[in-house]
Amino acid sequence: MGTDGTNSGRLLDGITVVDLTTFVTGGFATLMLANQGAEVIKVERPGTGDDSRHSGPPFVDVEGYDGPGRAASKHGESPYFWTVNYGKRSVELNLKTDEGLEVLFDLIEEADVVFENFRPGTAERLGIAYEDVRAVNEDAIYCSISAFGESGPWSRRPGYDLLVQGMSGIMSVTGEEGGDPVKVGLPQTDLITAMWAAFGVVGALYRRELTGEGDRIELGMLDAALPWLTKQAGKTFVGEEPERMGTKDPVLAPYQSYPTADGYLNVACGNQKLWEELCEEIGRGELADDPRFESNADRVGNMDELEEELSATFTERTTDEWVEQLAEDAGLPVGPVFDVDEALSNEQVEARGVVGTLEHPAVGEIPSIEHPLNFSNVDSGFEEAPPLLGEDTDAVLDELGYSRERIEELRTSGAVPDE
């Protein structure tokens, strides 16, 4: 519901998305659209489905479920799959059969958006490239995602998040000083690419409203990651070499984690006033007058000495004590370092309703993580659980006008699996 309590529909109501992607890059992009009201029809390989259905452990057992759809993995349902597929519908189609392609194009004919993240050239071989789609739906927005894009010497290489984190420079600046390169703990470049893709599709839909024209969006994961280098790119542009710095920042200090009596405290002094107030609040007023730490540039140049001074003070008290004094009472930008469970379950997250629940057809109540866009005049949010594999195949075929006899023919031909 809108933040003013009204409910005026959802931003992308009436938009239909055909999602041919697997894993996270396309999946999270279409998830973002589903959160804003788009109907996302996830086309999956019969019997196997999206590769992320098999990502685990952990898995959740669905033994005894006898409704439409099924778990793709013999181990059960993957909670990882859930986090990228809330609110979608699942249709199993064998795109290597003529009949399966016929059904797909019937779907596409009624759709607004088509997503694919095949390796370049695959969509053409399958007969579902942009030109093929445009022949039946010239108004469609077609989004192609690949590891390195469709041009350049690396375009035909396969790629995953790990490879792109390494080739984008992210791993070279992640980890402890003097240590080995470290991958960010999240699938960061997958998610970066997904957000660019969703942004591009919504922009193309807006342009279509103005011009009546469809469009094709083509993006590579490596291209998508590079604009996020920001500070590190800025250093490179003037001939400096960014390095791994642990939790330190290349242009601000103090802006890092410090040990406390029982954990860690993040301290983020983004300007001189905050630095001076911090020194006063922790009883170290002399640090503000120390020539080594007088300006931000001085502090960045003497980070090791600054870390030693502040660590000696912060280890005198617990993290909670420092947070209460500095964040709650003094209004300074400090905070704890939570583990994932604490991040998902705390008073702030609960007050904002970020983590909720949805009713899964085979598992029952499952957690869901809401997306952060809160509009005043339109609704947003997930209303349905992630689908079981093929859960909506018959329903979608019915909506396309297929007779029961025709559906049975599709089963016989192998275009859709047996019930």
Please tell me what DSSP assigns to residue 387. P
Alpha-carbon dihedral 194, 199, 204, 205, rounded to 10 degrees: 100
Pairing of strands 113-116, 141-146: parallel
Distance CA 81, CA 86 (A): 9
Q: Which two tokens stand for residue 75?
A: 């181990």
Count other Cβ atoms within 10 Å, centred on residue 376.
Answer: 10
Count other Cβ atoms within 10 Å, centred on residue 29.
Answer: 31
Backbone torsion region of residue 337, taken as left when φ is above 0, otherwise alpha when ψ lies between -120 and 50, otherwise beta = beta
Nearest alpha carbon to residue 196 among 164, 233, 167, 155: 164
Distance CA 214, CA 197 (A): 15
Alpha-carbon dihedral 345, 347, 348, 352, rounded to 10 degrees: 80
Distance CA 21, CA 44 (A): 8
Q: Which two tokens stand for residue 107?
A: 């779907």
Nearest alpha carbon to residue 268 among 278, 259, 260: 278
366 SS3 class: strand
Supply the angle between the helices 98-109 and 404-413 in degrees, to the nearest 10. 130
- Selecting among 19, 50, 161, 190, the annotated active-site residue is 190
Q: How far is CA 193 from CA 33, 186, 272, in A?
A: 14, 13, 35
Establish whether 190 is a catalytic residue. Answer: yes
Nearest alpha carbon to residue 51 among 31, 29, 73: 73
Which residues form the catalytic set?
A: 190
